[in-house]
């Protein structure tokens, strides 16, 4: 007995086959069952694509003497050509019959025209039946036999025309007309039957043999000449038919090559979709893991930080052993570093997942920079680093998230102080951009970053060689978070650095974020009206 789960799975598979990609775009209510159906449908399509690619590879990669001649495709071209010329051939027979009334009895011409029309109609019906036949039947050999037999009957019907008796005495006009008719009909049949060489011979050779035999029965130079020309014309049109056949094969090879490339693109696209789906699943799993583990990690870390702080500050009593106090300080510092690392990873994960929301409000950019400079003053004094803050006067408010901008400025200032040697300088400048936006520029006198390492530094968890050699504490996520937050504000982030000359980072916000923006206002020269503040 089939279980409910199996019935649901069969229904999902059937629906996915009926609706194809559209069913894949709208997941049903049971994700587990639907995913199985989607995966099975994708596997089926990949197997079909692999079979088609293998078939094309075997066709194009075979030796010249074993390569397929595109039999099925050439049969399609033959049938299409015959169907397209369904009205041209009877019209030519009618014109020939009308002109031949000058030399041949109309009754005989009428009978011949009916026979020719019937043979042509039989050939058209055969081609039409072939086009409507299923693909598995079209590949069978008997269709080519039918085509050759039909062309043989059609060629014989035209050969009968050259055997019709004359009404009067022999006339050179009829002789020339016979030869011209032979050339026209052979040329027409060559164009129609070039893709099947046997059919070409079956439709043209009977006429040539009859006309040549008829000419050779007359003892005169003109008849011998026309007989030789008829044989030469037959050879010429046969060579022409072979050339048309080569052109058709070349065209079909190009088409097969194109289909092969399309098949490879489809395979690559399917693989890309599968890789993207797996990446999305991995990203969702990562987000769920971080959301679950954030509480599990922060709770014990808070206990570690609290107890280690009580121990190092000797709140409950003095610790006689100095090593224990040092251990407590190390535990507290390590826990604080681990907590900062977890916070940065969670912040970057929320931003990448699009779950970080901006709480925007009017604020002054220079005020945020002042607050961050005051907060960084303690760390700067510990290394005897001078902080210089310069900003243009009368800076209007901007529309932004205060917490996000504070995190951006603090991360950049922290990096500048971290990598600036003792006794160095860090300069912070706030001003207007050329398009009337606002920017923050932070320049340090540190060792700088080699040009080839700048892309590495800008990546998540990326650290330069100087940071690795000096073993500076950090995760390499600060600049990634800065770029993400600046991008959420529609701003731009740039980093300029040269080895031995320091580093400059610039964060600019567009003028659309400036409050009360007035395009007609002309700002004063910022270099002559800067206000400089020195911390410490």
Place of tokens 């709770």: 299
Cβ atoms of residues 208 and 159 within 8 Å: no
Say what the pLDDT of residue 52 is: 59
List the chain pLDDT tens, one digit each, 536 residues.
444 444 444 434 333 433 343 333 333 344 444 555 665 666 666 666 656 555 555 554 444 443 445 778 888 888 888 888 888 888 999 999 999 888 888 899 999 999 999 999 999 998 888 888 887 777 777 888 888 898 899 999 999 998 888 876 656 788 888 888 889 999 888 888 888 888 888 888 898 898 888 888 877 888 888 888 888 888 888 888 888 888 887 887 888 778 778 888 888 888 888 888 888 887 777 767 766 666 677 777 777 878 788 887 777 778 777 787 788 888 877 777 777 777 777 766 666 666 667 788 888 888 888 888 888 888 888 888 888 888 888 888 888 888 888 888 888 888 888 888 888 888 889 988 888 888 999 888 888 888 777 777 777 666 665 554 554 555 567 787 888 888 888 888 888 888 878 888 898 988 888 887 544 433 334 343 443 333 33
Residue 360: which H helix or E strand, with range?
Answer: strand 360-363
DSSP assignment letter at 514: B
Residue 401 forms beta bridges with which residues? 360
Residue spans of the domains in the chain: they are 4-63, 71-261, 302-352, 362-535
Please list, in sequence order, all residues whose beta carbon lies within 8 angstroms of the beta carbon of residue 14, skipping any fewer than 6 positions away. none
Cβ atoms of residues 237 and 256 within 8 Å: no
- Taking the alpha carbons of 199, 204, 205, 207 in that order, is the dihedral positive or negative? positive
The C-alpha atoms of residue 89 and residue 31 are separated, in whole angstroms, by 62
Record: fold of 362-535: Heat Shock Protein 90 (3.30.565)
The C-alpha atoms of residue 154 and residue 428 are separated, in whole angstroms, by 95
Cβ atoms of residues 480 and 493 within 8 Å: no
3-state secondary structure of 204: helix
Cβ atoms of residues 149 and 194 within 8 Å: no
The C-alpha atoms of residue 430 and residue 395 are separated, in whole angstroms, by 9
**Hey, how many other C-beta atoms are within 10 angstroms of the C-beta on 378?**
9
Residue 508 forms beta bridges with which residues? 439, 492
Say what the pLDDT of residue 113 is: 92
The C-alpha atoms of residue 437 and residue 491 are separated, in whole angstroms, by 10
Tell me the whole-structure pTM to 2 decimals.
0.44
The C-alpha atoms of residue 97 and residue 110 are separated, in whole angstroms, by 8
The C-alpha atoms of residue 181 and residue 176 are separated, in whole angstroms, by 8
């Amino acid at each position: 007995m089939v279980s409910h789960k199996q019935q649901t799975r069969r229904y999902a598979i059937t629906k996915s086959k009926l609706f194809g990609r559209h069913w894949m775009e709208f997941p049903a209510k049971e994700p587990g069952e639907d995913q199985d159906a989607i995966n099975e449908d994708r596997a089926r399509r990949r197997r079909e694509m692999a079979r088609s690619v293998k078939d094309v590879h075997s066709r194009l990669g075979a030796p010249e003497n074993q390569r397929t001649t595109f039999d099925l495709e050439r049969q399609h071209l033959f049938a299409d050509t015959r169907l397209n010329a369904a009205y041209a051939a009877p019209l030519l027979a009618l014109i020939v019959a009308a002109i031949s009334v000058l030399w041949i009895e109309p009754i005989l011409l009428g009978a011949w025209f009916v026979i020719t029309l019937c043979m042509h109609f039989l050939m058209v019906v055969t081609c039409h039946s072939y086009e409507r036949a299923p693909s598995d039947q079209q590949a069978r050999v008997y269709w080519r036999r039918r085509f050759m037999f039909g062309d043989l009957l059609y060629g014989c019907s035209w050969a009968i025309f050259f055997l019709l008796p004359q009404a009067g005495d022999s006339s050179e006009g009829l002789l020339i007309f016979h030869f011209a008719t032979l050339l026209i009909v052979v040329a027409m049949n060559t164009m129609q039957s070039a893709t099947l060489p046997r059919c070409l011979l079956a439709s043209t050779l009977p006429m040539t043999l009859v006309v040549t035999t008829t000419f050779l029965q007359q003892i005169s130079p003109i008849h011998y000449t026309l007989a030789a020309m008829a044989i030469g014309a037959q050879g010429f049109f046969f060579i022409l038919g072979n050339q048309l056949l080569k052109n058709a094969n070349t065209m079909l090879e190009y088409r097969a090559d194109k289909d092969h490339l399309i098949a490879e693109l489809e395979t690559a696209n399917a693989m890309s979709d599968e890789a993207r789906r797996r990446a999305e699943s991995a990203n969702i799993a990562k987000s769920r893991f971080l959301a679950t583990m954030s509480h599990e990690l922060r709770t014990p870390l808070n206990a570690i930080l609290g107890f280690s702080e009580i121990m190092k500050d000797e709140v409950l009593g003095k610790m006689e052993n100095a090593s224990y106090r040092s251990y407590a300080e190390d535990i507290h510092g390590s826990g604080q570093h681990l907590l900062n690392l977890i916070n940065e990873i969670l912040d970057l994960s929320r931003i990448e997942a699009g779950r970080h929301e901006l709480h925007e409000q009017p604020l002054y950019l220079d005020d945020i920079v002042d607050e961050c400079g005051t907060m960084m003053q303690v760390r700067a004094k510990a290394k005897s680093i001078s902080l210089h803050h310069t900003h243009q006067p009368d800076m209007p408010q901007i529309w932004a998230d205060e917490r996000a901008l504070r995190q951006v400025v603090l991360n950049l200032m922290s990096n500048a102080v971290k990598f600036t040697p003792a006794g160095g300088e860090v300069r912070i400048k706030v001003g207007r951009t050329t398009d009337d936006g606002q920017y923050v520029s932070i320049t340090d006198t540190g060792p700088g970053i080699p040009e080839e390492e700048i892309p590495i530094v800008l990546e998540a968890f990326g650290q330069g060689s100087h940071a690795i050699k000096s073993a500076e504490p950090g995760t390499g996520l600060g600049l990634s978070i800065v770029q993400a937050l600046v991008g959420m504000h529609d701003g731009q982030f740039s980093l300029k650095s040269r080895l031995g000359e320091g580093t400059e980072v610039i964060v600019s916000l567009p003028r659309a974020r400036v409050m009360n923006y007035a395009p007609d206002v002309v700002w004063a020269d910022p270099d002559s009206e800067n206000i400089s503040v020195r911390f410490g």
